Amino acid sequence: MPPTLALLVWFVLLVALLWFDPAKAPGTSPALWIPIAWLFIQASRLPSQWTGFDSASGAQALEEGNPLDRSIFFLLMVLALAVLVKRGFNWGGFVSRNLWLTAFILFALISFVWSDFPLIALKRWFRDLGNYFVILVVLTDPHPVEAVRALFRRLGYLLIPLSIILDKYFPVLSRKYDAWTGMGMFVGATTGKNLLGLLALLCGLFFFWDLAARWAERKDRRAKRIIQVDFAFLLMCLSLLITANSATCKVCMALGCATIIAARSQMFRRHPTMLKILIPSVFFLYLLVSFGLGAAGNLAAAIGKDPTLTDRTKIWSFVLGMHTNPVIGTGYESFWMGSRLEYFWHNAGLGPINEAHNGFLEMYLNLGVVGIFLICGFLLASYLKIGREFSQGAPVASFYLALWLIMLFYCVTEAGFRSGLMWLVFLIVALSAPITSKIPVNSPAATLVDDWSPKRRIRIRQTATKVAVHER
C-alpha cells in the first residue's frame, strides 16, 4: 500500500472510530479535548517538531525552547483555566487537599532565586503549571470516571495506530539513530524508543484494565463490542512495546497487569489492607535487593538488560560527582543547562544526554533533599488516597494502584517526575480535586473528585435524599 494511501486510511478509520466508538460516553464534557491535546503533545512530539519549525539544536534549544511550542502550550493553559473558572473550581479546597503538592510547587517556584538561569527556570515553572490545569479539567468533569476512560482511550486511538503506520510506511520520520552507538530504532509518533515504550505501556495497561473491568458484562451487546476494541488495541500496544524494546516498560507492564488482576481477585477484595501493604512492600524489597545488596546488575541481566542498566549507573556516578547543593539543588529544571550540560557532554563520554535517568536523582539535582522530601510526601499522600478509594470499591482504584506502583519502578531508571507523559498520568492518580460549585452533590463526580470525611459524606447523602424526596 502506498504510504499516502495508508495515512489516509488511518485517518478515515480514526474518524469513524471516534464517531462510532461503542465506548463513547455522551455525558463527558467537550472540554476533555483540551487535556487530550496536551497529552498528545507530551506523548508524541512538540508542535514545532511535527511542523518542521524546530530550527534550533543542541544546548541552545534546550534552554530557549521554541515560540510555536510556547504559544500552543499557553493557549491550552488559558483554555483549561477558563474551563475551571466556569465550573467554579474551589482553589482553596484544592490546596487544602493537596498540601504536599502545593508545597512542592511553591518550593519549585522559589528555587528560581538560586538558579543560574532564573528566567528560564521561571518560564519552565509557568509552563509546567499547565499540567495541573489540564488534569483538573479531567477530574472535575461531571462524569470523572468516564472522563478518565475517554482520555486514555482517545489518546490510544490517536497515537497507537499512527505509530504503527509511521514505523511501517514512513521510516524517515519514525526511524532514529542513537547519537552515541549509531544503533537504529523505530520510535513511531514519538521522539525516542523509551517514550514509545512508555506510550505503549500506559495505553496497553488502560486497555487491559478496561477489558478486565468489562469482562463480567461480556454477554451484553455493547460491552462485547467494547471488549473487542480493547483487545485489538491491547495487541497493538504489546506490538509497539516489543518494537520499542524498553526493558523498563516491559517490566512495568507485567507489574501493572499483575496488580490489576490481584486487585480484582476475591481474596484482596475481601482483605484490601493486604494488597495495600503488599504493593509498596514489593518496591522496597526491590530497592533492598538491587541497591542494598548490590544485585541491580544481576537483576538487569536476568531480564536481558545491560548490567550497567544501559550506562545509567555511569550517569548516576558522574552527576553525583559534580557536587551540586545537596539541600536545595541547582533550581527548578536548571541542572541540565549551561556549563554543567557542556561539561557532562564533553567529559562523561556518554553522549548528549539531558536527564539523569532516575526520577529521584533528577529531583535531587534540581531541588536537593528538600525536593525529594516533598515529592516523597506527595507519593505517600497519593497512595493513602488511592488506598481509601480501593477500600471503598471505587471503579478506577485497581487501575490507579497499578499506575502508582509503575511510577515508582519507572523512576528508578527514568526521570519520571519531570514534566512529561508519566508525570501527567500520575497526576490523574494522585490529585485530590474538590467538588466544583457547578456540580450537584449527588452527581457521579461527587464520588471521585472529593476526599470527604465520613461525616461530610453522611451530610451529602442526607442532602441528596431530601432533594430526591422533594422532587418526587
Q: What is the pLDDT of residues 394-411, one digit of tens each?
A: 889 999 999 999 999 999
In a domain, 271, yes or no: no
Q: Which residues of 283-308 are buried (b: 16+ CB within 10 A; e: fewer)?
A: beebeeebeeeeebeeebeeeebeee
Q: Which residues of 333-363 are buried (b: 16+ CB within 10 A; e: fewer)?
A: bbbbbbebbeebbeebeeeebebbbbbbbbb
Percent of the chain with pLDDT over 70: 85
* Residue 358 pLDDT > 80: yes
Burial (Cβ within 10 Å: 0-12, 13-18, ≥19) of residue 174: buried
- Tell me what the pLDDT averaged over the chain comes to: 86
pLDDT confidence band for 290 (50 / 70 / 90): confident
Long-range contacts, 336-342 (Cβ 8 Å, 24+): 336/62, 337/59, 337/62, 337/63, 337/116, 337/117, 337/120, 338/59, 338/63, 338/116, 338/117, 341/59, 341/62, 342/59
In a domain, 460, yes or no: yes
For the record, the C-alpha cell of 276 comes out as: 495495600
Q: What is the pLDDT, as a whole number, of residue 45?
A: 92
**How many domains, in total, are found in the chain?**
1
In a domain, 270, yes or no: no
In a domain, 390, yes or no: no
Structural domain of 467:
440-472
Comparing 57-71, 193-207, 208-222, which segment has the lowest mean pLDDT? 57-71
pTM (global) more than 0.75: yes
pLDDT confidence band for 470 (50 / 70 / 90): very low
Q: How far apart are CA 42 and CA 384, in angstroms?
A: 28
Task: Find how far residue 439's CA is from the centre of its chain.
Answer: 26
In a domain, 472, yes or no: yes
pLDDT confidence band for 296 (50 / 70 / 90): low
Residue 155 CA neighbour count, 13 Å, CB half: 33
The string of pLDDT tens digits covering residues 58-90 is 555 555 668 888 899 999 999 999 999 999 999
In a domain, 463, yes or no: yes
In a domain, 11, yes or no: no
Q: What is the pLDDT, as a whole number, of residue 451?
A: 41
In a domain, 445, yes or no: yes
